C-alpha cells in the first residue's frame, strides 16, 4: 500500500526534478526538453524562474576559494548565456576565463590607473582587493565591419551590444541558480589599450561588455530598495 501511494505521488507530481545540490535525478535526465515539457505545470515553472530572478544579487565579497564543480557550472551558465535574444543571429559574444597570470596583469593595470589619480596607497589597496576575487570572466562583443555607431538606433553594433548584455544576465542568473554569486563590473581599466592584450583579445575587433567576478558569496547581500513599483513603470496604451 505504501509503495502504491509513493508511485501515485510521483506520477501526480510529474516525477523527479532539480535538486538543491544542482543534480538531476534519473527521470529528469531521461526527459527531453520539449515545448510540451515547457508548458507543463506553468505555476511551478513561474515560481522557479521568477524566484531566481528576484533573489539574484550583486555580490561584492566572495570566499577565497571557488566551490567544487565551478567549471561545469560555468559551462552550463555560458550555454544558457548564448541563448539570449540576438537580432540577425550574429552571435557576437565571447567569454574569456582568466587564469592567474591574466588576473594579475589586469589587477596591476587597474592599480596603476587608480594610483595615478588617487595616490600609491589607494592603488595598493585596490590591488589587494582585486587579487582576492576568486573567479574572473571577461565578456566581449564583436565589432561589426564598417563604420557604425552605438548612437545609430538600427546599427548592428547596437543590436549586438544589447544581445551581449542579455547574455550576461542569463549567465548571472544561471550561476545564481547553481549557488554561485556574481558581480558584473566595468570601469576605466576595461577600456584601457593594455586590457585587451592582458586578456588576450584584439581590441580592434571586440569591445568589452564587462568583467564578471564569480564565486561563493561570503554572505547573502540585502535586497536593493526599489524606488518604483510596477505601476510606476508600466504604461497601458489603448
pLDDT tens profile 73-90: 999 999 999 999 999 899
Placement of cell 562583443 in the chain: 141
Contacts of 76 (CB under 8 A, 6+ apart): 174, 178
Query: Is pLDDT of 40 > 70?
Result: no
Instruction: Report the share of the chain in percent with pLDDT over 70.
Output: 82
- Residues with Cβ within 8 Å of residue 68, at least 6 apart in sequence: none
Distance CA 215, CA 181 (A): 5
58 pLDDT above the threshold of 80: yes
Burial of 193 (0-12, 13-18, 19+ CB in 10 A): exposed
User: What distance in Å separates the CA atoms of residue 139 and residue 81, rounded to the nearest whole number?
Assistant: 11
Would you state the pLDDT for residue 45?
Answer: 87
Q: Assign 38 a pLDDT band (cuts: 50, 70, 90).
A: low
CA gap 207, 71 in Å, rounded: 25
Query: What local confidence, expressed as pLDDT, does residue 206 receive?
Result: 96
What is the distance, to the nearest Å, from the Cα of residue 6 to the centroid of all Cα atoms in its chain?
38
- Grid cell 567549471 is found at 71
| Continuous segment of H or E residues that includes residue 95 | strand 93-97
| pLDDT single digits (tens) 122-176 | 999 999 999 999 999 999 999 977 657 778 888 899 999 999 999 999 999 999 9
Q: How confident is the model at residue 37 (pLDDT cuts 50, 70, 90)?
A: low
Q: Which residue has the higher pLDDT, 25 or 210?
A: 210
Rounded mean pLDDT, 201-205:
95
| Dist CA 168 CA 211 (whole Å) | 10
Determine the pLDDT at residue 135: 98
The pLDDT mean for the chain works out to: 86
Check whether 230 has a pLDDT greater than 80. Answer: yes
Cα 80 from Cα 71, distance rounded (Å): 14
Could you give the CA distance from residue 114 to residue 120 in angstroms, rounded to a whole number? 8
Distance of CA 96 to the CA centre of its chain: 13
Question: How far apart, in whole angstroms, are the C-alpha atoms of residue 131 and residue 111?
Answer: 10
Q: Residue 54: exposed, middle, or buried by beta-carbon count in 10 A (0-12, 13-18, 19+)? A: exposed
Q: What mean pLDDT is predicted for residues 33-47?
A: 72
Band (pLDDT 50/70/90 cuts) for residue 4 is very low
Mean pLDDT, residues 59-84 taken together = 97
Q: Using 50, 70 and 90 to split pLDDT, how confident is the model at 35?
A: low
pLDDT at residue 57 is higher than 50: yes
CB 168 within 8 A of CB 209: yes
Residue 28 has pLDDT above 50, yes or no: no
C-beta of residue 187 within 8 angstroms of C-beta of residue 110: yes
Amino acid at each position: 500500500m505504501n509503495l502504491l501511494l509513493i508511485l501515485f505521488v510521483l506520477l501526480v507530481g510529474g516525477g523527479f526534478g532539480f535538486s538543491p545540490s544542482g543534480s538531476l535525478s534519473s527521470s529528469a535526465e531521461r526527459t527531453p526538453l520539449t515545448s510540451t515539457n515547457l508548458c507543463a505545470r506553468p505555476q511551478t515553472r513561474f515560481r522557479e524562474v521568477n524566484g531566481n530572478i528576484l533573489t539574484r544579487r550583486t555580490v561584492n565579497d566572495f570566499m577565497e576559494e571557488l566551490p567544487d564543480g565551478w567549471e561545469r557550472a560555468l559551462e552550463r551558465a555560458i550555454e544558457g548565456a548564448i541563448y539570449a535574444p540576438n537580432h540577425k543571429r550574429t552571435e557576437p559574444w565571447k567569454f574569456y576565463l582568466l587564469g592567474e597570470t591574466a588576473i594579475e596583469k589586469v589587477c596591476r593595470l587597474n592599480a596603476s590607473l587608480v594610483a595615478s589619480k588617487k595616490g600609491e596607497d589607494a592603488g595598493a589597496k585596490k590591488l589587494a582587493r582585486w587579487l582576492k576575487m576568486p573567479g574572473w570572466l571577461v565578456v566581449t562583443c564583436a565589432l561589426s565591419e564598417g563604420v557604425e555607431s552605438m548612437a545609430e538606433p538600427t546599427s548592428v553594433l547596437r543590436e549586438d551590444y544589447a544581445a551581449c548584455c542579455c547574455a550576461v544576465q542569463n549567465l548571472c542568473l544561471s550561476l545564481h541558480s547553481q549557488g554561485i554569486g556574481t558581480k558584473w563590473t566595468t570601469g576605466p581599466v576595461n577600456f584601457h589599450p593594455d586590457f585587451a592584450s592582458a586578456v588576450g583579445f584584439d581590441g580592434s575587433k571586440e569591445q568589452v561588455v564587462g568583467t564578471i567576478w564569480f564565486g561563493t558569496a561570503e554572505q547573502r547581500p540585502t535586497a536593493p530598495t526599489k524606488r518604483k513599483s510596477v505601476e510606476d513603470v508600466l504604461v497601458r496604451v489603448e
